[in-house]
Every structure is written in structure tokens, then in C-alpha cells.
């Protein structure tokens, strides 16, 4: 019998298990795969995550990002660099293995290659039936990602997600990333450094021929697709009702809870933070952890709602978003990545730039008609 059973050994699950064990709980973590394992992800950590990670994570950094290039539809580019780091690139296999190792060092019992088949939860305990037997805990945290078995058992069904394609090739961008909009509806394309390689991909919320779009995008950037192209899904939320909190003694964290940035699909920051907050809810309110968990997540969820508003406008008016970025909004986004600015503040600033853009456009039309 355990105090807590965590399903999933990614950043959300390892973070949760690590902090739970530090709080004196007897913790079992169940991971479906053998770690380390290949993980599809650009591996970009915003700088604001730094204070939420165990000591020693810096040794995993492959690239320190100080800025980047924003492009529009293969026709326009502009570059903006920062004096300080705004993000870090890691290899997800190494990063996930590091977090899991830290959890084990803290006393977490880890069972790998263990597939969860079903769960049962009542007012007294939680039962987890797996390919290696059944396990019991006072509480259960589902940290098993987009295809979460725990979330499905609670009746949740993913309805909002990015469809993504990614491939890897050799190259070196060193301190910058490339983000391109205008290639797909409600989405973006990217080129991220990864040590001596490049991660090249495209993601969108709507249907379409992503393979064709990726090929054309890579060609425009002078990159040849000479290896395997991988596909995966990234969940996102736009409104508070999109969040899967859990039920009773079962809490959901990270991608399993839909806690992913709807603008660019960043998930690691929210995974690590929600895992930490789930432990706080269990430790401080063991009789009703779900109620406290909802309360603790309010600030984070509010931020993602504002991110959703920005994404909705930005992806609908991509040319305007590009122009606004050139005129100053991108530097404020960098401040968000470093933790100096909130999405709410960025949203307010965005409206200021949008109105300036609108006035400028009307002025252009007026001057044209006066000719």
C-alpha cells in the first residue's frame, strides 16, 4: 500500500513523485516504457522553468537560446536577439531520465515497462491494475500524457489538439530558433537547434496536408528531408472548462490534464508545475485534494486562458501578428519566457499594438484614396 501512485514517468509524473517523496509520502511511479527512451519533442524549456527543476539540470542543456527569427509564409523574416537566455534546448530522452533519476534518489519506487490497464477509485483508496500486477494507494495522479489511460477511465476525452510533424537533420543554429507563421491555418512551423542537429517541424489545429506543408517549408528554409518524419499530437486548452482536473482521490497533471500552452504548444513548464501543485493539494488537504488542486491551479489556468485568447487572434490574423511582432510585441514575449511578464500582461500589450496597427492601416487606405 502506497500513499501515492503516479502513472507516467515524464516531466509531470517525475516532478510530482519527487516532491511527494520530499514531503514524506511513500510513492510508487509506474512507467509504461523503459527509460531513457526516444521522445518526440522540440525540447525547448522556457527560462522561467529554472526554479522548478532539481539541481543539476543545467548539465543537460544543448543550446542556450537568446532569441530567434520570426518568418511569415516564406516571404519575410526578421531577427530579434536578447542579451540574456530566454530558453534552453534539451534532449527529451536525457531530460526525462534525469528527472526520473532524481525522483528515485529522493526515495520514489519506480516500476518501468509497466502498462496500466485500468483503475478503480473510491472514497478510501485507489487501485491500479497493470501488466505487472495490481497496486494500491491512498491517492492516484495521472501523468500519462496525451493518451492518458487515467483520464479516459475518468470519462475525459481529448477534443483539442495540435497535429504535428517533425524530422531531424544535421545543422547548427547555436543560440537562436526559427518560428514561421503563415504556412498553415491556426499553426506554425519551426527550426530548433539540438546540439549539432536541427529539429524541423510543423503543427496546426486544423486539418490539411501537413506532409506537403512540411516539405515546402523545409525547401524554403534550404533544408532537405532525408530521414524519417515523425507525427504526434499536442493537447491544448483555451478555456477553463477544457482542463481535466481529475475526480475524487485522482488528480491529473501535465498533458493528461490538457495543461499545455495553446500558442506554441509548450508543455514541459506546465507539466512540472502542475505535478508540484498536485502534491501540495494532497499534502495540505488529504480529505479533499481535488478542491484545493483546482484552487492552486487557478493562476496557471488563467494564464493559459489568456494564451488561448492570444493564439485565437494571432492564428486568425497571422499577417497582422507578424507585423505586431516586428513592431515590438516579440520583445515582450521574450520577457514572458523569462518570467518577467504574464500572458495577461502580454494580452493587454497586444491590444495596444493591434490598435496601432489598425490605425496605421486605415491611414494607409485614407492616403491611398486621397491620391
Half-sphere exposure of 59 (CA within 13 A, CB side): 6
- CA–CA distance, 63 with 172 (Å, rounded to integer): 10
Say which CATH number the domain at 218 has. Answer: 3.30.9.10
Question: How would you classify the pairing of strands 126-130 and 116-121?
Answer: antiparallel
Residues 284 and 181 in one domain: no
Structure confidence at residue 357 (pLDDT): 62
Reading the chain (371 residues) residue by residue, the pLDDT tens digits are 999 999 999 999 999 999 999 999 999 999 999 999 998 888 999 999 999 999 999 999 999 999 999 999 999 999 999 999 999 999 999 999 999 999 999 999 999 999 999 999 987 899 999 999 999 999 999 999 999 999 999 999 988 899 999 999 988 777 899 999 999 988 999 999 999 899 999 999 876 789 999 999 999 999 999 889 999 999 989 899 999 999 999 999 999 999 999 998 999 999 999 999 999 999 999 999 999 999 999 999 999 999 999 999 999 999 999 999 998 999 999 999 999 999 999 999 988 877 766 656 555 554 545 55
Q: Is 250 within 8 Å of 127 (Cβ atoms)?
A: no
Axis-axis angle for helices 298-316, 343-369 (nearest 10): 20
| Residue at 310 is within a domain | no
CA distance 103 to 112: 13
Q: Is 90:43 a contact under the CB 8 Å cutoff?
A: yes
Residues 108, 33 share a domain: yes
**Residue 256 belongs to domain with CATH number:** 3.50.50.60
| Spatial CA neighbour of 179 closest among 345, 341, 318 | 318
Whether residue 73 lies inside any domain: the answer is no
Q: Which domain holds residue 176?
A: 161-235
81 occurs within a structural domain: no
Statement to judge: residues 287 and 327 lie in one domain: no
Residues ≥6 apart with Cβ < 8 Å to 244: 151, 154, 156, 252, 256, 257, 258
**Final residue before a domain boundary, out of 195, 216, 235:** 235
Are 173 and 291 members of one domain?
no
Does residue 84 lie in a domain region?
A: no
Q: How far is it, in rounded angstroms, from Cα 85 to Cα 218?
A: 26
38 and 129 co-located in one domain: yes
Same structural domain, 219 and 190: yes
The DSSP line for 158-219 is: ---EEEEEEEEEE---TTEEEEEESSSTTEEEEEEEETTEEEEEEEESS-S-HHHHHHHHHH
Evaluated on CA atoms 88, 92, 98, 100, the torsion sign reads positive
What residues have CB less than 8 Å from 282, skipping those under 6 apart? 4, 20, 25, 139, 251, 289
| Whole-number Cα distances in Å, 362 to 17, 67, 321, 324, 365 | 55, 32, 17, 15, 5
Q: Is residue 132 located within the same domain as residue 193? A: no
Domain assignment of residue 186, yes or no: yes
DSSP 287: T
Same domain? For 154 and 20 the reply is yes
DSSP β-ladder status, 230-235 and 116-121: unpaired
Strands 250-252 and 246-247: antiparallel
Strands (DSSP E) found in the chain: 2-7, 27-30, 44-46, 63-65, 67-72, 76-81, 87-89, 109-111, 116-121, 126-130, 133-142, 161-170, 176-181, 187-194, 197-204, 230-235, 246-247, 250-252
Inside any domain, residue 269: yes
Same domain, residue pair 172 and 223: yes
Instruction: Give the chain's domain count.
Output: 3
Task: Tell me, yes or no, whether 142 and 177 share the same domain.
Answer: no
Contact 253, 278 (CB under 8 A): yes
Q: Residues 95, 24: one domain? A: yes
> 279 with 286: CB under 8 angstroms?
no
Which of 187, 207, 235 is the C-terminal boundary of a domain? 235
Q: What is the DSSP string of 238-267?
A: SSGGG---EETTEEE-GGGGT---TTT---
Backbone torsions φ then ψ of 61, nearest 5 degrees: -70, 125
* Structural domain includes residue 337: yes
Asked whether residue 222 falls in the same domain as residue 131, the answer is no
Q: Is residue 59 part of a domain?
A: no
Domain end point (choices 235, 258, 276): 235
Amino acid at each position: 500500500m502506497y500513499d501515492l501512485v503516479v502513472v507516467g514517468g515524464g516531466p509531470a509524473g517525475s516532478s510530482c513523485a519527487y516532491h511527494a517523496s520530499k514531503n514524506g509520502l511513500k510513492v510508487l511511479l509506474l512507467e509504461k516504457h523503459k527509460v531513457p527512451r526516444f521522445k518526440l519533442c522540440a525540447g525547448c524549456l522556457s527560462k522561467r522553468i529554472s526554479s522548478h527543476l532539481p539541481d543539476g539540470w543545467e548539465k543537460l542543456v544543448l543550446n542556450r537560446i537568446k532569441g530567434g527569427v520570426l518568418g511569415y509564409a516564406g516571404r519575410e523574416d526578421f531577427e530579434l536577439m536578447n542579451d540574456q537566455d530566454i530558453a534552453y534546448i534539451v534532449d527529451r530522452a536525457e531530460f526525462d531520465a534525469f528527472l526520473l533519476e532524481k525522483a528515485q534518489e529522493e526515495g520514489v519506487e519506480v516500476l518501468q515497462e509497466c502498462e496500466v490497464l485500468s483503475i478503480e477509485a473510491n472514497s478510501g483508496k485507489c487501485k491500479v491494475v497493470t501488466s505487472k500486477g495490481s497496486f494500491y494507494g491512498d491517492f492516484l495522479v495521472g501523468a500519462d500524457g496525451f493518451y492518458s489511460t487515467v483520464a479516459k477511465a475518468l470519462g475525459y476525452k481529448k477534443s483539442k489538439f495540435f497535429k504535428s510533424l517533425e524530422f531531424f537533420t544535421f545543422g547548427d543554429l547555436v543560440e537562436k530558433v526559427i518560428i514561421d507563421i503563415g504556412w498553415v491555418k491556426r499553426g506554425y512551423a519551426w527550426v530548433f537547434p539540438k546540439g549539432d542537429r536541427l529539429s524541423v517541424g510543423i503543427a496546426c489545429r486544423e486539418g490539411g496536408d501537413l506532409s506537403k506543408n512540411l516539405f515546402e517549408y523545409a525547401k524554403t528554409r534550404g533544408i532537405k528531408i532525408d530521414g524519417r518524419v515523425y507525427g504526434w499530437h499536442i493537447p491544448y486548452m483555451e478555456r477553463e472548462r477544457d482542463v481535466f482536473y481529475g475526480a475524487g482521490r485522482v488528480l491529473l497533471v501535465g498533458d493528461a490534464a490538457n495543461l499545455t500552452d495553446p500558442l506554441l504548444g509548450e508543455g514541459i513548464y506546465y507539466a512540472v508545475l502542475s505535478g508540484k501543485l498536485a502534491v501540495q493539494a494532497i499534502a495540505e488537504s488529504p480529505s479533499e485534494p481535488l478542491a484545493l488542486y483546482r484552487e492552486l491551479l487557478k493562476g496557471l489556468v488563467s494564464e493559459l486562458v489568456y494564451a488561448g485568447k492570444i493564439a485565437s487572434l494571432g492564428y486568425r490574423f497571422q499577417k497582422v501578428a507578424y507585423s505586431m511582432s516586428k513592431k515590438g510585441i516579440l520583445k515582450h514575449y521574450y520577457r514572458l519566457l523569462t518570467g518577467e511578464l504574464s500572458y495577461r500582461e502580454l494580452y493587454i500589450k497586444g491590444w495596444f499594438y493591434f490598435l496601432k496597427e489598425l490605425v496605421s492601416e486605415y491611414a494607409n487606405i485614407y492616403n491611398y484614396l486621397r491620391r
